[in-house]
Amino acid sequence: MRSFEELERLHGQALADLAGALTTSALETWEDGYLGRKGQITLQARRVGQMPKEDRPAFGRRVNEVKQMLQGAYDARLEEIRRGELSRQLADEAIDITLPGRPVIPGHLHLTTQALRELYSIFAKMGFEVYEAPDVELEAYNFDLLNIPEYHPARDMWDTFWVQDAGEGGDRRLLRTHTSPGQIRAMRERYPEPIRVILPGKCYRYEQITVRSEHQFYQLEGLAVGRGITMTDLIGTIQQWARLYYGPDRSVRIRSSYFPFTEPSIEADIDCILCHGEGCAVCKYSGWLEIAGAGMVQPVVLQNGGYDPDEWSGFAFGFGVERPAMQKYGVKDIRWYYGNDLRFLRQF
């Protein structure tokens, strides 16, 4: 009889312990302790052999019943705890999908690059291709071949940064002071084809930096060489560019001027984009804004490029890229362009 009492006591104890097991690891300990190979219920089952014969069937049946009931209780409890642990884990690791994301701030093209690309597309419509020439130039290309000999006073128009190492043939090197040397490069490469190119690029001048002038800036040069090209073609090209870039009802004014590499030389103005000719601070109360230097390619320069001036003629123009954009957007200080201040750059 004592064996039956012992079994029922163990049964009750096991159920109480099971209710107190709160984690899967506590459940495993419980299973080892009661139902495992050396568990207390398992040991009870082994005792059957030592019992009086008449008790054996009843005890054996009861042990099996208890074992099955405990196994069932254990399975149900395990399921319950697993579910609890899972939902706790889900709650702990929950992602709040209603939180706003962290913004990714995309970069964008620099104001100068935007202006250059707009200019490329305007000139592309007129059949000009982009031709790139080097920033570090030979003295001959920047000056001599453009009809500016060493002691010519016109050299003073371009204060120069010199590079210490000499170039090919011992020629002095410099940072190009304008994009015009690209005219010679384009002509020497393209002869005897007609030419219609624009030459964009950075130029460098040994100058005081002010709100209106930087020592590095972009220019865009244009060059057309062909048979029978005239001043009319040049003026028409400038007018078309001015209207596409500054607005359809711009007036263009042509003044005579001087450059050693063009003859005749001109300067082109447009009526002020701000006051339309009334007079304001942007146009310094003249009503006009200067937009380009230009002219018919000097015969000597054509010859230096390989073209016979008796057969060929051409026009060239050149202008700064930053200043028109300054006027368009009302930028008051040219130094902001390359000052790397995002507060400025993000506005464009």
- 180 scored as a contact of ligand PHE (CB under 6 A): yes
Which range, of 85-93, 241-249, 277-285, 292-300, touches ligand PHE by CB under 6 A?
A: 292-300
Would you give the DSSP letter of residue 130? Answer: E
Binding piece for ligand PHE, criterion CB under 6 A, among 27-35, 43-51, 92-100, 290-298: 290-298
Tell me the residue number closest to ligand PHE, measured at CB: 318
Q: Which window, 8-16, 233-241, 274-282, 288-296, contacts ligand PHE (CB under 6 A)?
A: 288-296
Residue (292 or 325) nearer to ligand PHE, CB: 292
- Contact call for residue 237 and ligand PHE (CB under 6 A): no
Q: Using the rule CB under 6 A, give the single segment among 116-124, 148-156, 299-307, 313-321 that binds ligand PHE.
A: 313-321
Please, what's the b/e burial string for 219-247 (b: 16 or more CB within 10 A of its CB; e: otherwise)? bbbbbbbeeebeeebbbebbbebbbbbbe
Q: Residue 293 interacts with ligand PHE (CB under 6 A)? A: yes
Please, which residue, 39 or 318, has the CB nearer to ligand PHE? Answer: 318
Q: Which residue has the tokens 């690891």?
A: 25
Positions in 183-222 near ligand PHE (CB under 6 A): 221
Nearer to ligand PHE, 112 or 183 (CB): 183
Q: With left for phi above 0 and alpha for psi between -120 and 50, is residue 170 left, alpha or beta?
A: left
Strand order in the sheet with 162-163: 136-138, 173-175, 162-163
By CB under 6 A, is residue 262 in contact with ligand PHE? yes
How distant is the alpha carbon of residue 26 from its chain centre? 57
Amino acid letter, residue 274: L
Q: Are 198 and 123 in contact (CB under 8 A)?
A: yes
d(CA 225, CA 107): 40
Query: Quick one: which of 204, 259, 288, 312 contacts ligand PHE (CB under 6 A)?
Result: 259
Burial track 271-310 (b if 16+ CB lie within 10 A, e otherwise): bbbeeeeeeeebbeeebbbbbbbbbbbbbebbbbbebeee
Joined tokens for residue 309: 């001036």
Which of 186, 294 has the CB closer to ligand PHE? 294
| 112 lines the binding site for ligand PHE (CB under 6 A) | no
List contacts with ligand PHE (CB under 6 A). Answer: 178, 180, 221, 259, 262, 293-295, 316-318
